[in-house]
């Protein structure tokens, strides 16, 4: 029992604990749709691209969380603006914008001569999370969850039956745009917890793990949240005892759980056992 409780004697660890719970709960709610829509590459580009906003905000002396959110919204706007270009596929645009913004962030931060800060932004600074960061994350996370709940029907229909969704009046492109904005919000929430590079891990891995055994959308989302919170908290505790980077440790725990679940559920996922989500 002491192994579990000793890390939380200090206040900064208790703040880190709450921050880990927030990202572990919110990321899989949005990540469920990222996995089902096969948008992991967009999540990866978004997580890397927000570094530009982080760098510019840091240089300007304002909160880097607002900079990250601004960069995410700019990336979302650019993707929507160029989405009608059929000569270039969306995956190409995602790669171009994500790489360009990531490169801009690296250049800006390296020019500030703060190499250590660049590492913190890439891999998180969970142990330095302040109450202001925590409340902002709770606000963004709560808003993201409420948006997903409000648009659950539209998200489900546009994900599984694009044609029918348009026939019944669902604005498919608008739903897609909102989902991209939610991705930006999750990236901001993950920034100090696991960093820009690892944020896609919490966005995708818990939801992908629950997809291996969940039979319904509700269960996939619910189990994704359970896994995300458990992995984030256990990873934090493990990093304390190993004296390792919390963000990277959380990512490794999530990957290990996915690998074990994949192997355990392999027999029931054979072709003749496969059933779509209900």
The 10s digit of each residue's pLDDT in 195-251 is 776 778 888 999 999 999 998 898 999 999 999 999 999 998 998 888 888 888 888
Query: Is residue 22 domain-resident?
Result: yes
Query: Is residue 201 domain-resident?
Result: yes
Confidence of residue 146 (pLDDT cuts 50, 70, 90): very high
Query: Is residue 215 domain-resident?
Result: yes
Q: What is the CATH number of the domain that holds 72?
A: 1.10.3470.10
What confidence tens digit (pLDDT) does each residue in 159-168 have?
887 778 777 7
Contact (CB, 8 A) for 51 and 101: yes
**pLDDT at 63 exceeding the cut of 90:** no
Query: Is residue 206 domain-resident?
Result: yes
Query: Is residue 39 domain-resident?
Result: yes
d(CA 111, CA 52): 13
What domain count does the chain have?
A: 1
Query: Is residue 159 domain-resident?
Result: yes
Whether the pTM exceeds 0.75: the reply is yes
Contact (CB, 8 A) for 191 and 58: no
Contact (CB, 8 A) for 23 and 202: yes
Query: Is residue 278 domain-resident?
Result: no
**pLDDT at 172 exceeding the cut of 90:** no
| Token representation of residue 233 | 């908290």
Range of the domain at 258: 2-273
Higher pLDDT, 156 or 11: 156
Query: Is residue 181 domain-resident?
Result: yes
């Amino acid at each position: 029992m002491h192994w579990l409780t000793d890390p939380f004697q200090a206040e900064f660890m208790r703040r880190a604990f709450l921050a880990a719970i927030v990202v572990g709960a919110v990321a899989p709610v949005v990540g469920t749709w990222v996995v089902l829509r096969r948008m992991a590459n967009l999540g990866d580009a978004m997580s890397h691209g927000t570094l530009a906003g982080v760098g510019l905000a840091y240089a300007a002396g304002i909160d880097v969380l607002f900079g990250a959110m601004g960069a995410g919204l700019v990336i979302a706007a650019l993707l929507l603006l160029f989405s009608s270009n059929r000569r270039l596929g969306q995956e190409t645009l995602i790669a171009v914008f994500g790489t360009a913004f990531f490169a801009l962030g690296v250049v800006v931060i390296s020019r500030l001569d703060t190499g250590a800060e660049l590492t913190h932004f890439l891999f998180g600074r969970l142990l330095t999370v302040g109450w202001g960061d925590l409340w902002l994350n709770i606000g963004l996370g709560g808003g993201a969850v409420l948006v997903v709940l409000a648009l659950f029907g539209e998200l489900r229909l546009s994900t599984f039956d694009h044609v029918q969704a348009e026939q019944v009046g669902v604005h498919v492109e608008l739903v897609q745009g909102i989902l991209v904005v939610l991705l930006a919000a999750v990236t901001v929430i993950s920034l100090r917890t696991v960093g820009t590079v690892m944020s896609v891990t919490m966005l995708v891995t818990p939801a992908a793990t629950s997809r291996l055994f969940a039979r319904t959308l509700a269960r996939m989302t619910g189990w994704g949240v359970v896994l995300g919170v458990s992995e984030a908290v256990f990873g934090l505790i493990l990093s304390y005892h190993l004296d390792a980077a919390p963000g990277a440790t959380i990512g490794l725990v999530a990957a290990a759980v996915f690998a074990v679940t994949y192997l355990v559920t392999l027999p029931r996922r054979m072709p003749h056992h496969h059933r779509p989500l209900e």
